[in-house]
Amino acid sequence: MENNKLQNITGKLWSMANELRGNMDASEFKNYILAFMFYRYLSEHQEDYLITNNVIDVPAGSTINDAYKAEATGDDLTDYLADISSMLGYAIAPDDTWISLNEKIDNSQVIPSDYQTIFDNFNKNSELNKEAKHDFVGVFNDINLGDSRLGASTTARAKSLNRIVKLVDRIEYKSEDGKDILGEIYEYLIGQFAASAGKKGGEFYTPHQVSKVLAKIVTSNFDDTTKSVTVYDPTMGSGSLLLSVGNELKRVKKAGVLKYYGQELNTTTYNLARMNLMMHDVAFNNMNLNNADTLESDWPDGADEKGMDHPRSFDAVVANPPYSAKWDNTESKLKDPRFSDYGKLAPASKADYAFVLHSIYHLNNTGTMAIVLPHGVLFRGAAESKIRKTLIEKNYLDAVIGLPANLFYGTSIPTTILVLKKNRTTKDILFIDASNDYEKGKNQNVLTDANVDKIIETFKNRKDVDKYAHVASFEEIKENEFNLNIPRYVDTFEEEEPVDLQEVKKMLIQDDKEIAALEAEIEEQLKILGV
């Protein structure tokens, strides 16, 4: 779908959504409109399944929804729901489909409790497929149907929800070639909500171009011969970074399976991620997402409720963790295998290196990891200095990439990408200073496609580029006492043109003459005035 058409659709939707949300914060209102978009997607995805597989006989002059209502009743309903769930991982009853809900709204038949009933039924039916229930159960649980900002009474709140449903129903979700683009619209809206949510926006969304850089880095060693790939994001937010990796993999490899793994602490954001991946056609059996505190709850070992073993390590790891977050660095964590090899724990007030060590622990021996962090990780002392030195001595650190300031929602600080690998054959480290390459936006700076391509090309070539990149030897790093501050390695200083002192002298003499002439003229005028 053309980008300008996508922006036209989402622009209208965004404008109408802003009118509907009234005094509700954008970061909260997103939960309603995005949830109903997902519900519509699930319902229409189920409808496609019923039609494509001839599950329902549709009499002439009838619709698939009417036929589903007529056939799936009584004991037959149980059989239909079990069949649908076995294939899709979830099932929606005839009275709860998107079409049925809209028909009730159009006929003024919706009662305040209907929405709770619909979501309760969805949860119940999602229990039918034991392998998929982890992916679907509770996905709508944190939609606050009783929020007073939707309306002062249950009836008023139901009417507000009705208006949101009708707004979502008006979305044009097919491109000109018939492709379903609801997922693209969903992702675009997440970005819009993040931009409007201020500081909270950074908690659930990584800007697309930054995601693109990380994704291109961690997929740079894959090709068509790669049979399967696992990608892990320990602080996945709404899943946009995972999806960016998926998009890049589709460009570099044509066969095989991609499996997505991720953890997210915030339940609402975790639900967004589940929705986001599925709306981008990620099958439930190709994703394994957890609602957990990554630093406290390591990726679980052993078989999960799907009967699948969790891999302890992954082919690609990407992360944009909360910057300098607080964490519980009690001494007992030194026994945790993620942190035990480094002698020190990240400070309680700055968990940045805790996320680094968690991520590298889960990277396999042939994979690549890329993580976005504040610049302080490059040069801060004490425990962080010890961890940084150990990472370099283990020969894990592959590249340090400096990004421009003000790229992210909620913070204007410049950031850096650390690239780590376990199978390095040389001990040098590539430094790239991309801090001055960006396009100035209204509220945030933006990386252009050209900026992204320059970073990736330099990363792949791994050669010095004047005032942009430098490959530093281990001895050079050691001489700098393992301080990785980028200006120590990449000199971006621009010399000023030499000054012609003789020309300056001539200009000063000329200025003195002009001043003298002006003073004489003023004195003459004062004499005329008798002053």
Q: In terms of Cα–Cα distance, which of 209, 256, 265, 214 is closest to 236?
A: 265
Side chain identity at residue 105, one-letter code: I
β-pairing, 439-440 vs 445-446, is antiparallel
- The confidence score (pLDDT) of residue 179 equals 66
Model confidence, pTM: 0.85
CA 185 to chain centre: 15
CA distances (Å), 245 to each of 184, 242, 250, 368, 370, in order?
15, 5, 9, 12, 11
In this prediction, residue 300 carries a pLDDT of: 65
Buried residues in 357-373 as b, exposed as e (16+ CB within 10 A): bbbbbbbbeebbbbbbb
pLDDT of amino acid 495: 57
Q: Which long-range contacts (CB under 8 A, 24 or more apart) does 134-139 make?
A: 134/288, 134/304, 134/305, 134/306, 135/89, 135/274, 135/278, 135/284, 135/287, 135/289, 136/89, 136/90, 136/274, 136/284, 138/271, 139/38, 139/271, 139/274, 139/275
- DSSP class of residue 413 equals -
**Per-residue model confidence as pLDDT tens for the chain (531 residues):** 456 666 777 777 777 777 777 767 766 787 888 899 899 999 999 999 999 998 888 888 889 999 999 998 888 999 999 999 999 999 999 999 999 999 999 999 998 899 999 999 999 999 999 999 999 999 999 888 888 888 889 998 899 899 989 988 988 776 666 666 777 787 777 777 776 655 555 555 788 889 999 999 999 988 777 678 899 999 998 898 999 999 898 876 655 678 999 999 999 889 989 999 998 889 898 999 999 999 998 876 544 454 445 567 899 999 999 888 999 999 899 999 999 999 899 999 999 999 999 999 999 999 999 999 999 999 998 999 999 999 999 999 999 999 988 887 667 788 999 999 999 999 999 999 999 988 887 777 888 999 999 999 999 999 999 999 999 999 999 999 999 999 999 986 555 567 677 877 888 888 888 888 888 878 777 777 766
pLDDT at 303: 43
Nearest-Å Rg of the Cα atoms of the chain is 29
Reported residue count of the chain is 531
CA-angle at 464, arms to 462 and 466, nearest 5°: 140
Buried residues in 232-260 as b, exposed as e (16+ CB within 10 A): bbbbbbbbbbbbbbbebbeeebeeeebbb
Model pLDDT, residue 504: 78
> What does the pLDDT read at residue 513?
84
Nearest to 140 by CA among 282, 45, 37: 37
| Three-class SS state of 303 | strand
Distance of CA 381 to the CA centre of its chain: 30
